[in-house]
């Protein structure tokens, strides 16, 4: 793609040339560095896709390119174009700016705060309410002017606005007019291709009536986007909707062996969730799939020296302020599932989505409530109010954070769902407990990641400062970091952090301040550890490239090379290091390398079992596991670099 793009194309945020990522909902192209910031904001702010390494629906890519070429970026930077703001010194990021804090601050202001979007002067009457904007959107989508529609959406127009006089939604209008890009844009903003107009016809029906069969097919695809994405994540295949196949349920080759009691219990409870809670969980899992897939693309497209810098890490789903804290916590816990556990959850969700949909059309007595599963992520009911006060699935049971506000303008559908919630036969807390138990083994790793990610900015700061001045007063950062991080910063402050490429992340290193740990003088030299880490990451890079290109034959030799490099790294360290952190990192390093090898060996022999899809899902799952292991190895190696750097500089 970069070859197809004109040379003049630059990152929308910092103007670096040859941007490789796109933000689908913002209609802009961004560079790797800015993309890492976009990712940290979460999908509700920016939905990023790699231009060449992510599979794109062609019409969606077309939509993004049209927006970008027509200057959609000026929507998000409107007031920066104003001479007055130039005078005031406000400016966008430069290519030379540091990611943190400069580019990150700018990107947050631009997309999270919408600080530079043009706001129309509002009177107290209804003229610039969401309703008014939505009516403008309703009439604009029949034209080809995409930027106008994006601008209206950015100002608060509702993609699912049901026009009271016309009796339909903007997507009906776009479908009827054959405006393919408008339909793509509307659905990115949550428009529902299955919403009926007053005569009971959906946008899909309108597209067919207008002879727009490709558009109609695409809208069907969008309707099943959630479950299709989950299936594709596991087995690289999507259902053939044109021939009436709407679900693919991959099978884990070893599921019968591995299904623990906990997993069985989780499955049972999943089935008893109300439709609304089930839908929320499915959306959360969709976001987690997106996070994992984008991580994998990220790892495969970075060179080995940036592979382990802190910008690569989006360790769990960023907070979505529109969700309750409990739901956000539940979303973040999904990151603790290892690849196999996560695959099991995804398969359970797919099976249950199918069961619920079949129930809808065939036997269920609760037809009214069963309509929710298959809509694209973020879609809302047909209503002019925004459905942003969804109850979270945990608060039903715990009731501890009064997030549910019956007076907050809930839609009729949401109200009916509330009554649905109270019917839920199994408490969601129980379900959550099962999930937690399932995740317990990964908790430690997760904690490390969390500390790491919070700390990265701090370390950058400190690195800058320590090179300038030899000592920094204690408590310099006390107001921004938590206890664990503070102990880390103590160690970091003392360190002369020599290689910026490896900086920015530490493990939970509280024990380094322990005098006993500090007397552990037998740590290897920083240079040696860095050299070995470079070897390891180079080998990992090779493996990830093989994974990206589906060269499964290369897995075993790659994993063996990694294993050798890891053993050499481990041999640098004393057999029984006194520091818990060193021990923990070494254990993660070596156990991940072993796991990696055994995962890679799985692709060598063909599974003896049955016909059909068993090979596909297995291969895809193994690849996921392989990437996860490689990621853990890189993480552990980086921890060891940071630890030895600190210790040797004491
Ligand atoms: Zn950039």
19 C-alpha vs ligand 1 centroid, how far in Å?
7
100 C-alpha vs ligand 1 centroid, how far in Å?
12
3 state SS of 395: helix
454 C-alpha vs ligand 1 centroid, how far in Å?
22
Mean pLDDT in residue range 59-78:
96
pLDDT of residue 582: 86
307 C-alpha vs ligand 1 centroid, how far in Å?
18
101 C-alpha vs ligand 1 centroid, how far in Å?
13
pLDDT of residue 618: 62
Of the listed ranges 57-71, 166-180, 221-235, 635-649, the least confidently predicted one is: 635-649
Give the angle 48-53-57 at the CA atoms, nearest 5°.
Answer: 70
377 C-alpha vs ligand 1 centroid, how far in Å?
27
138 C-alpha vs ligand 1 centroid, how far in Å?
33
The whole-angstrom separation of Cα 309 and Cα 317 is 19
456 C-alpha vs ligand 1 centroid, how far in Å?
19
Residue 644: which H helix or E strand, with range? helix 615-648
Residue 324 scores a pLDDT above 60: yes
Q: Which residues contact 280 (CB under 8 A, 6 or more apart)?
A: 327, 390, 392, 393
103 C-alpha vs ligand 1 centroid, how far in Å?
8
HEC string of 317-381 equals CCCCCCCCHHHHHHHHHHHHCCHHHHHHHHHHHHHHHHHHHHHHHCCCCCHHHCCCCCCCCCCCC
Per the model's pLDDT, the better-predicted residue between 553 and 284 turns out to be 284
132 C-alpha vs ligand 1 centroid, how far in Å?
35
11 C-alpha vs ligand 1 centroid, how far in Å?
5
Of the listed ranges 271-275, 328-332, 552-556, the least confidently predicted one is: 552-556
Residue 588 scores a pLDDT above 90: no
The whole-angstrom separation of Cα 624 and Cα 233 is 9
461-475: burial string, b at 16+ Cβ within 10 Å, e else: bbbeebeeeeebeee
State both tokens at 349. Answer: 């969700």
pLDDT of residue 254: 60
Mean pLDDT in residue range 406-415:
35
Per the model's pLDDT, the better-predicted residue between 220 and 556 turns out to be 220
Q: What's the mean per-residue pLDDT of the chain? A: 73
51 C-alpha vs ligand 1 centroid, how far in Å?
14
550 φ/ψ sector (left φ>0, alpha ψ -120 to 50, else beta): left
Q: How far is CA 186 from CA 123, 192, 200, 480, in A?
A: 27, 9, 20, 39
Q: Are 459 and 504 in contact (CB under 8 A)?
A: yes
106 C-alpha vs ligand 1 centroid, how far in Å?
11
pLDDT of residue 391: 34
Per the model's pLDDT, the better-predicted residue between 31 and 251 turns out to be 31
20 C-alpha vs ligand 1 centroid, how far in Å?
10
Q: Quick one: pLDDT band at residue 394, thresholds 50, 70, 90?
A: very low
626 C-alpha vs ligand 1 centroid, how far in Å?
30
Mean pLDDT in residue range 487-510:
29
Mean pLDDT in residue range 538-546:
79
104 C-alpha vs ligand 1 centroid, how far in Å?
10
221 C-alpha vs ligand 1 centroid, how far in Å?
32
Q: Quick one: pLDDT band at residue 448, thresholds 50, 70, 90?
A: very low
105 C-alpha vs ligand 1 centroid, how far in Å?
12
pLDDT of residue 374: 28
Give strand pairing partners of 21. Answer: 30, 50
31 C-alpha vs ligand 1 centroid, how far in Å?
4
Residue whose entry in the numeric block shows the structure tokens 């009536």: 209
638 C-alpha vs ligand 1 centroid, how far in Å?
25
The whole-angstrom separation of Cα 585 and Cα 629 is 14
Per the model's pLDDT, the better-predicted residue between 87 and 546 turns out to be 546
37 C-alpha vs ligand 1 centroid, how far in Å?
9
What digits encode the pLDDT tens for the residues 141-183?
999 999 999 999 998 999 999 999 999 999 999 999 999 999 9
Q: Are 231 and 616 in contact (CB under 8 A)?
A: no
- Give the side-chain half-sphere CA count within 13 A for 135: 9
What digits encode the pLDDT tens for the residues 346-369?
999 999 999 998 875 433 332 222
495 C-alpha vs ligand 1 centroid, how far in Å?
30
549 C-alpha vs ligand 1 centroid, how far in Å?
27
116 C-alpha vs ligand 1 centroid, how far in Å?
17
pLDDT of residue 125: 52
67 C-alpha vs ligand 1 centroid, how far in Å?
18
78 C-alpha vs ligand 1 centroid, how far in Å?
18
300 C-alpha vs ligand 1 centroid, how far in Å?
19
4 C-alpha vs ligand 1 centroid, how far in Å?
19
32 C-alpha vs ligand 1 centroid, how far in Å?
7
189 C-alpha vs ligand 1 centroid, how far in Å?
24
């Amino acid at each position: 793609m970069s070859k197809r793009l004109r040379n003049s194309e630059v990152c929308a945020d910092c103007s670096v040339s040859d941007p490789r990522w796109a933000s689908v909902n913002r209609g802009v192209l961004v560079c790797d560095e800015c993309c890492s910031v976009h990712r940290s904001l979460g999908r509700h702010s920016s939905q990023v896709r790699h231009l060449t390494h992510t599979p794109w629906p062609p019409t969606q890519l077309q939509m993004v390119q049209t927006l970008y070429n027509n200057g959609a970026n000026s929507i998000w930077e409107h007031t920066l174009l104003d001479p007055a703001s130039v005078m005031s010194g406000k400016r966008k990021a430069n290519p030379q700016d540091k990611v943190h804090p400069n580019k990150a601050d700018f990107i947050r202001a631009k997309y999270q705060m919408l600080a530079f979007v043009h706001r129309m002067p509002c009177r107290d009457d209804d003229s610039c309410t969401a309703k008014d904007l939505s009516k403008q959107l309703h009439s604009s989508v029949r034209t080809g002017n995409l930027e106008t529609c994006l601008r209206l959406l950015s100002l608060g127009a509702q993609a699912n606005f049901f026009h009271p006089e016309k009796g339909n939604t903007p997507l009906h209008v776009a479908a009827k007019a054959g405006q393919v890009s408008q339909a793509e844009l509307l659905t990115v903003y949550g428009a529902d291709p299955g919403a009926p107009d007053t005569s009971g016809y959906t946008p899909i029906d309108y597209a067919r009536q207008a002879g727009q069969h490709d558009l109609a097919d695409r809208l069907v695809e969008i309707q099943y986007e959630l479950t299709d994405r989950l299936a594709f994540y596991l087995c690289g295949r999507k259902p053939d909707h044109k021939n009436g196949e709407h679900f693919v349920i991959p099978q884990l080759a070893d599921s019968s062996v591995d299904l623990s009691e906990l997993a069985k219990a989780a499955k049972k409870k999943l089935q008893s969730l109300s439709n609304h809670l089930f839908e929320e969980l499915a959306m959360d899992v969709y976001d987690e799939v997106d996070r994992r897939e984008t991580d994998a693309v990220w790892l495969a497209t970075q060179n080995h020296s940036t592979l382990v810098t802190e910008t690569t890490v989006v360790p769990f789903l960023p907070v979505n302020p529109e969700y309750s804290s409990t739901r956000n916590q539940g979303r973040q816990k999904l990151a603790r599932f290892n690849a196999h556990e996560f695959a099991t959850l995804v398969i359970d969700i797919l099976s249950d989505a199918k069961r619920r949909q079949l129930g809808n059309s065939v036997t269920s007595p609760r037809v009214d409530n069963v309509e929710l599963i298959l809509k694209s992520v973020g879609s809302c009911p047909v209503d002019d109010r925004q459905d942003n006060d969804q109850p979270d699935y945990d608060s039903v049971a715990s009731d501890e954070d009064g997030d549910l506000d019956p007076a907050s303008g809930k839609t009729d559908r949401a109200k009916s769902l509330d009554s649905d919630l109270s019917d839920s036969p199994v408490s969601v807390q129980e379900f959550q407990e099962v999930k937690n138990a399932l995740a317990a083994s990964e908790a430690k790793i997760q904690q490390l990641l969390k500390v790491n990610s919070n700390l990265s900015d701090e370390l950058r700061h400190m690195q800058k400062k320590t090179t300038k001045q030899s000592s920094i007063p204690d408590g310099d950062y006390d107001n921004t970091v938590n206890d664990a991080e503070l102990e880390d910063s103590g160690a970091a402050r003392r360190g002369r952090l020599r290689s910026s490429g490896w900086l920015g992340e530490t493990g939970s290193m509280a024990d380094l301040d322990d005098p006993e740990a500090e007397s552990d003088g037998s740590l290897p030299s920083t240079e040696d550890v860095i050299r070995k880490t470079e070897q390891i990451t180079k080998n990992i890079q090779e493996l990830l490239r093989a994974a990206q290109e589906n060269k499964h034959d290369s897995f075993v030799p790659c994993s063996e090379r990694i294993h050798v490099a890891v053993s050499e790294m481990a041999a640098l360290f004393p057999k029984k290091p006194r520091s818990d952190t060193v021990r923990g990192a070494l254990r993660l390093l070596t156990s991940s390398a072993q796991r990696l090898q055994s995962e890679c060996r799985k692709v060598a022999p063909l599974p003896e079992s049955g016909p059909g899809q068993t090979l596909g899902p297995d291969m895809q799952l193994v690849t996921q596991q392989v990437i996860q292991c490689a990621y853990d190895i890189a993480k552990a190696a980086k921890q060891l670099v940071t630890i030895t750097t600190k210790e040797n500089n004491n």
